[in-house]
């Protein structure tokens, strides 16, 4: 093969009159007649136009060039010249072209089942593109995403290495532990009837590393959870996993919070600004979500005190419930921009989130107008003042228990953000959400469950609530949110065995069960465990935000489908009966 001297996106006017050798795939082929053939040659770096003057090259080159077709793999040597057909402003190399002198056909292709064309990709079924992923990966868009992912990992390692973190690998074959999702399990050949599990996260091992004196840990690691995939989640995904010793929550927020601005500046050249710290309860009350999108307004307002002064049965019934509230959201100009059909669509969104309905009023120069406006007469002036209502606005209400009212209006808010085109796609808005509930009540199993995982430390002022009022206990956990997407989650960990035992007891784990599942961690906590905490950033989700896709499969080189299949390799597949026999397992009819 001829030695390549340049990439296909590299040549510029400065290279004119130089000899260059390029290699790649034939992206387009055009026989113009008059003895000229034009080929756009593509590699991961870009495109260069190659010109074959059939009167000026050897007969073997003439013959080979006339036989070229899309996706043939070739190497070309020629002289760089200024483009004679006019500059192509769509290409970085659009000012030059290469006059071919030598051609080497490295591999002829069969007729490709798909073509690596960004413009055609949306017309091709995703299943087809995943089946022929090795062709789909040649698309410029896919190569760009892979470069962004590579650069993000590079910046991550540089940032944390400069701050004293060590990159340490943790095992992939571990003991099964309850972490909230189903484990992938692996049978042991050497120990019949025993099973390994694949890690849902390195959580326990990074805590062990802190007990082992490693102080600051980093790993870009694979995590595996046997749960149904969705657009922004795969059963196999990648985390930027981190842990620190001898730190407070505020110190972790400082170090980790500074990482995201550096990452986005280095990779995208954008300034995401500082991330405010907002308590979980405040986030729910103001935006109806624990991962609020701050790129637009439409904040929720609590009008319960005003609602109590009305005779509207929906309001009064809601306020009679435990933690009942009436919340409102003002839509500027909504009386004019939201048709009845669009208002009904908002009602559908609210009902899907658990609300019984979505009362609404319009405000005109004559005051509030709708089917419920007569109930608002006693509070009209005060409602207008509290919400800042102006003529032409529309107000939606949610009346229910606080969690339901917040969730319903939160979903309506997001729906309106898209419907009214309120989101500026050039904006980046980040925040920390802190002070999550420590536990959630499982009504089916009639027991408490960890909101995050069972190794989260309660906030320092909350220890007494572990036994007296678990539902009110606040944890030391925290989430990092970008543009309405949860991109990281972490906490201060429990480093004292007696507190860990109290949490296990509250979760319904007997001492025997706790020892069986977490015995090595509980024992490690008795031998001088330092205070420690950490976080895990979802790398796939970060890259999704950076490249502007909502499909996680776009940012993973070899993803699974939403049903967990690898269409390229055919996984999951059958195993040889002899292999199963060695593992002491066999297939049974479902």
Sign of CA dihedral 505, 511, 516, 522: positive
What pLDDT, on the 0 to 100 scale, is given for residue 327? 97
At 19, is the pLDDT very low, low, confident or very high (cuts 50, 70, 90)? Answer: very high
What pLDDT, on the 0 to 100 scale, is given for residue 373? 87
What pLDDT, on the 0 to 100 scale, is given for residue 341? 96
What pLDDT, on the 0 to 100 scale, is given for residue 453? 83
| Residues 470, 117: Cα–Cα separation, whole Å | 56
At 457, is the pLDDT very low, low, confident or very high (cuts 50, 70, 90)? Answer: very high
| Residues 465, 448: Cα–Cα separation, whole Å | 13
Sign of CA dihedral 124, 130, 131, 135: positive
Q: Given a cut of 80, is residue 230 above it in pLDDT? A: no
What pLDDT, on the 0 to 100 scale, is given for residue 61? 94
What is the per-residue pLDDT across 128-147, written as a single tens digit (0 to 9) for each? Answer: 999 999 999 999 999 999 99
Lowest mean pLDDT among 141-155, 213-227, 302-316, 433-447: 433-447
Contacts of 20 by beta carbon, 8 Å cutoff, 6+ apart: 5, 6, 11, 77, 78, 79, 80, 98
What pLDDT, on the 0 to 100 scale, is given for residue 441? 87
What pLDDT, on the 0 to 100 scale, is given for residue 320? 95
| Residues 521, 532: Cα–Cα separation, whole Å | 14
Lowest mean pLDDT among 231-240, 340-349, 409-418: 231-240
Interval 326-353 mean pLDDT: 96
What is the value of pTM for the model shown? 0.93
Tell me the three-class secondary structure of 165-190, residue by residue. CEECCCCCCECCCCCCCCCCEEECCC
Enter the DSSP assignment of 2. P
Q: Given a cut of 70, is residue 195 above it in pLDDT? A: yes
Interval 39-68 mean pLDDT: 95
Interval 258-273 mean pLDDT: 97
Tell me the three-class secondary structure of 479-532, residue by residue. EEEECCEEEEEEEEECCCHHHHHHHHHHCCCCHHHHHHHHHHHHHHCCCCCCCE
The answer to whether the beta carbons of residues 585 and 191 sit under 8 Å apart is: no
| Residues 158, 112: Cα–Cα separation, whole Å | 40
- Report H helices in 38-122: 59-66, 118-121
| Residues 242, 238: Cα–Cα separation, whole Å | 13
What percentage of the chain exceeds 70 in pLDDT?
Answer: 99
| Residues 433, 191: Cα–Cα separation, whole Å | 45
What pLDDT, on the 0 to 100 scale, is given for residue 367? 86
What pLDDT, on the 0 to 100 scale, is given for residue 179? 56
Interval 509-516 mean pLDDT: 82
What is the per-residue pLDDT across 340-380, written as a single tens digit (0 to 9) for each? Answer: 999 999 999 999 999 999 999 999 888 888 889 889 989 99
Mean pLDDT of the chain: 94
Contacts of 251 by beta carbon, 8 Å cutoff, 6+ apart: 244
Sheet holding 394-401, edge to edge: 300-302, 324-331, 394-401, 360-364, 367-369
What percentage of the chain exceeds 90 in pLDDT?
Answer: 81
| Residues 328, 534: Cα–Cα separation, whole Å | 37
Contacts of 586 by beta carbon, 8 Å cutoff, 6+ apart: 577, 580
Q: Given a cut of 90, is residue 187 above it in pLDDT? A: yes
What pLDDT, on the 0 to 100 scale, is given for residue 294? 97
Interval 453-459 mean pLDDT: 90
Interval 51-59 mean pLDDT: 93
What pLDDT, on the 0 to 100 scale, is given for residue 590? 63
What are the structure tokens assigned to 270, written together?
């954008």
What is the per-residue pLDDT across 373-411, written as a single tens digit (0 to 9) for each? Answer: 889 989 999 999 999 999 999 999 999 999 999 999 999
What pLDDT, on the 0 to 100 scale, is given for residue 484? 96
Sort strands 367-369 and 236-245 into parallel, antiparallel or unpaired: unpaired
Interval 177-204 mean pLDDT: 88
What pLDDT, on the 0 to 100 scale, is given for residue 174? 92
Interval 198-227 mean pLDDT: 95
The answer to whether the beta carbons of residues 227 and 235 sit under 8 Å apart is: yes
């Amino acid at each position: 093969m001829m030695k390549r001297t340049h990439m296909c996106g590299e040549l510029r006017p400065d290279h004119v009159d130089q000899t260059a050798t390029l290699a790649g795939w034939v992206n387009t082929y055009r026989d113009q007649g008059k003895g000229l053939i034009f080929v756009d040659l593509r590699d991961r770096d870009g495109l260069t136009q190659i010109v074959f003057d059939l009167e000026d090259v050897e007969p073997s080159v003439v013959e080979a060039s006339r036989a070229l077709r899309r996706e043939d793999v070739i190497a070309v040597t020629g002289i760089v010249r200024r483009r004679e057909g006019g500059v192509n402003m769509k290409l970085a190399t659009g000012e030059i072209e290469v006059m071919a002198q030598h051609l080497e056909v490295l591999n002829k292709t069969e007729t490709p089942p798909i073509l690596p064309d960004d413009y055609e990709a949306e017309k091709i079924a995703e299943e087809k593109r995943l089946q022929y992923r090795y062709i789909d990966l040649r698309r410029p868009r896919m190569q760009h995403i892979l470069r962004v992912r590579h650069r993000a990992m590079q910046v991550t390692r540089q940032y944390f290495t400069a701050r004293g973190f060590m990159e340490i690998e943790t095992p992939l074959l571990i003991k099964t532990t309850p972490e909230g999702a189903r484990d992938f399990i692996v049978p042991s050949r050497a120990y019949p009837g025993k099973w390994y599990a694949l890690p849902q996260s390195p959580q326990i091992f990074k805590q062990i590393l802190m007990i082992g004196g490693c102080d600051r840990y980093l790993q870009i690691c694979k995590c595996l959870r046997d749960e149904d995939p969705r657009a922004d989640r795969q059963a196999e995904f990648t985390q930027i996993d981190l842990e620190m010793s001898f730190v407070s929550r505020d110190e972790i927020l400082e170090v980790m919070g500074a990482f995201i601005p550096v990452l986005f500046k280095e990779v995208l050249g954008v300034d995401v600004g500082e991330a405010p710290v907002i308590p979980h309860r405040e986030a729910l009350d103001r935006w109806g979500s624990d991962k609020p999108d701050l790129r637009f307004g439409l904040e929720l307002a609590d009008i319960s005190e005003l609602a109590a002064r009305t005779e509207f049965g929906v309001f009064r019934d809601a306020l009679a419930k435990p933690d009942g509230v009436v919340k409102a959201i003002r839509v500027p100009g909504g009386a004019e921009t939201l048709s009845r059909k669009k208002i009904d669509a908002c009602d559908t969104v609210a009902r899907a989130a658990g609300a019984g309905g979505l009362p609404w009023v319009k405000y005109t120069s004559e005051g509030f107008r709708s089917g419920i406006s007569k109930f608002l007469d006693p509070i009209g002036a005060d409602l207008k003042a509290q919400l800042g209502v102006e003529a032409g606005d529309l107000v939606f209400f949610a009346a229910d228990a606080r969690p339901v009212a917040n969730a319903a209006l939160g979903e309506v808010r997001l729906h309106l953000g898209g419907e009214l085109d309120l989101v500026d796609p050039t904006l980046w808005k980040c925040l920390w959400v802190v002070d999550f509930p420590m536990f959630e009540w499982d009504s089916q199993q009639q027991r408490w469950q960890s909101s995050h995982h069972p190794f989260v430390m309660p906030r320092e002022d909350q220890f007494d609530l572990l036994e007296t009022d678990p539902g009110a206990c606040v944890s030391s956990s925290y989430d990092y949110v970008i543009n309405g997407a949860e991109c990281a989650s972490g906490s201060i960990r429990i480093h004292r065995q007696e507190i860990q035992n109290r949490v296990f007891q509250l979760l319904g784990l007997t001492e025997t069960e706790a020892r069986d599942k977490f015995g090595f961690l509980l024992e490690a906590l008795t031998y001088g465990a330092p205070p420690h905490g950490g976080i895990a950033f979802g790398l796939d989700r970060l890259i999704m935000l950076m490249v502007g896709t909502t499909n996680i499969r776009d940012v993973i080189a070899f993803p699974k489908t939403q049903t967990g299949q690898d269409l390229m390799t055919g996984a999951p597949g059958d195993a040889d009966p002899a292999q199963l026999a060695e593992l002491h397992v066999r297939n049974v009819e479902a």
